[in-house]
Structure 1
Amino acid sequence: MTLTLGQALDQLLEQINTKSQADPSTSYTAKLIGQGTAHCAKKLGEEGVELALALVSGSATDVAHEAADLLYHFGVALASRGISGPDVVGVIVARIGRSGLEEKASRTPS
């Protein structure tokens, strides 16, 4: 089966949503979410660092594996806050066609 990255990410987010409701003793996803958003954010940060290091000195296979890990923990972190894929897609769609510099300048400080 060949999927686009978007299709695979959609399926991953659906799977995370389903597994988040499972028993934490049998689901790593449910266990992570049960430990709270701060824990999920920490794991996401760790995976980001691992991907950054793989980009610098790892093989292409290492980079792909770390990127997949990062996307999984990204999904878990979103789920821990009740943020859906469509929530993120809406922001991405709104940014399409805008320069990155223009988009950054339009943000209001939070």
Structure 2
Amino acid sequence: MIEALYEEIRARKEEPKEGSYTNYLFDQGLDKILKKVGEEATEVVIAAKNNQAELITETSDLIYHMLVLLVETGVSLEEIKTELKKREGKLSKTKERKQIDEL
């Protein structure tokens, strides 16, 4: 499903469709796309404190906007998969991570 959506977004960038929200984002540029990703990420955090239905809706919005960002910046899903595979099976030690208040 995510792959199909990514391909649809990529196709929309290559062949714009009048009135398309996706094309609106591409036309507005990277700063607008980044703003939307930030807004949606914040909404996911808030939704997680509210209810599951809202969390599902906001997570879907975030995934869509992240895919728009990937297409805009030329990052493929294969590159994301490759990076995730590099991390598979590795232990993450909490002592090696910065504390939240240090970020």
- Fold similarity call, TM over 0.5: yes
1:42 aligns with 2:32: no
Aligned Cα root-mean-square deviation (Å)? 1.8
Structure 1 residues 69-92: Cα deviation after superposition (integer angstroms, max 9, x where no partner): 000000001111011111111100
Q: CA deviation at 1:93?
A: 0.6
1:52 aligns with 2:45: yes
Q: Which runs of no fewer than 5 residues in structure 1 stay unpaired?
A: 1-7, 106-110
Partners of 1:86 and 1:34 in 2: how far apart? 25
| SS across alignment from 2:14 | coil
1:91 aligns with 2:83: yes
Among candidates 69, 73, 77, match of residue 77 of structure 1: 69
Which AA in structure 2 matches 1:99? Answer: L
1:26 is matched with: 19
Q: How many residues align?
A: 96
Which AA in structure 2 matches 1:85? Answer: L
1:4 is matched with: none
Higher helix share: 2
Which AA in structure 2 matches 1:74? Answer: M
1:67 aligns with 2:22: no
Among candidates 7, 12, 36, match of residue 14 of structure 1: 7
Partners of 2:37 and 2:92 in 1: how far apart? 24
Q: Which runs of no fewer than 5 residues in structure 2 stay unpaired?
A: 98-103
Q: After the TM superposition, which parts of structure 1 deviate over 4 Å for at least 4 consecutive aligned residues?
A: none
